Structure 1
């Protein structure tokens, strides 16, 4: 069984990561649009029905360019901020609220619509039973460096991978 309390702690630690400290000068490559939520890393998604050894999709990073601000994106940013600032008593509840918001908005993402959905529908699965992570957790305006990917892996993505224990080839 997946320990969602441990996941919530790791997701919160990711949200509290200072990208300037993690990436140094490379942090200049990250998107920094005021009021957009760009300062928030995107820790990822673990469906409520995900089981250890389940299907994990790994993306590069949340992408480039501006994200359209709509009610779903605003709810997502709020959920990320709530988890970031949650105390011990509300940590798991905040994590599950983020999961619920992501379950609704991921269907609008091109990567999910064009790649993830076709794969999981052929496997008779749904979003509730998968995990989706980005190696680099922040949006970027410039192409991320290999060093950024490596630092992100070492700082937290490796821990996420080990907690989720996807099948190895």
Structure 2
């Protein structure tokens, strides 16, 4: 009796995900996004860096952005996620409305959203303690009003923001699809 040659199936290694860490200002997107990217071994991008100077000036003056203001910003983030599709990456982006997430998803259909969520009082306290950021705490209310939670048909998960950054990042990592 002769032994059959071993069958070797090619190993399929899924590519790292491209993740948008979303939520209102002060929810921890930048901190958690950086920690998550480090854990995944992929590049991290800060969405604030994609804003044109006019947007930063407007927010610094205490005025919320409108959809026209957001168009070039979302397009720049969409270009980044498209470049990272199949390679992996993490970007922080408020992505408060479904239509903004759809615009990003059009650039990278497998995009995964992690919504950092918590009580408004906790977020307001974090915003008040933050130094040297152009987003004034007074705009939190407008962001909370604009926030459209992830719909059931959107690839994503909600991550609570209670605890320290490492704990939140671990919950975010655990929420990623395998």
Specify if TM > 0.5: no
Larger radius of gyration: 2
TM-score w.r.t. the length of structure 1 is: 0.30
More helix by share: 1
Using CA pairs below 8 Å that are at least 6 residues apart, which structure has the higher relative contact order?
1
TM-score w.r.t. the length of structure 2 is: 0.29
